Amino acid sequence: MDLSALTLSAGVVALAEMGDKTQLLSLMLAARYPKQAVAIIAGIFIATIANHACAAFLGQWLTTLMSPEILKWVLSVSFFEYRIVALGARSYRGWG
């Protein structure tokens, strides 16, 4: 099995997550309690790996349920909805 795609994607995600506020706060917590720093950082690492593994397995499973054309539209709508929320549209109430 070729792990180059996994290694590349994990590296890109790790770089993208560097400035995450949650991660920065966790590292500050580790600095404040140096005796538990290893446990705190290990917990961050395990939680991040578990989160990305679940997302990858869910994404793989969804590709077995939907055709690429349907999946393209579902992803397009979800990204568009996220963009509306992220831009802070105050009158936006969701789809439901």
Cα separation values, 6 from 3, 16, 49, 59, Å: 5, 15, 12, 14
The residue among 58 and 7 whose pLDDT is bigger is: 58
Predicted confidence (pLDDT) per residue in 8-59, tens digit: 887 777 777 666 677 777 878 888 988 988 888 888 888 888 888 898 898 8
Q: Give the CA diameter of the chain.
A: 52
Question: Among 14, 24, 25, which residue's Cα sits nearest to residue 48?
Answer: 14
Report which secondary-structure segment, H or E, holds 79: helix 68-86
Tokens of 59: 């994404």
* Confidence tier at 1 by pLDDT (50, 70, 90): low
54-90 pLDDT tens trace: 988 988 888 888 888 998 998 899 888 888 877 775 5
Q: What pLDDT does residue 4 have?
A: 82
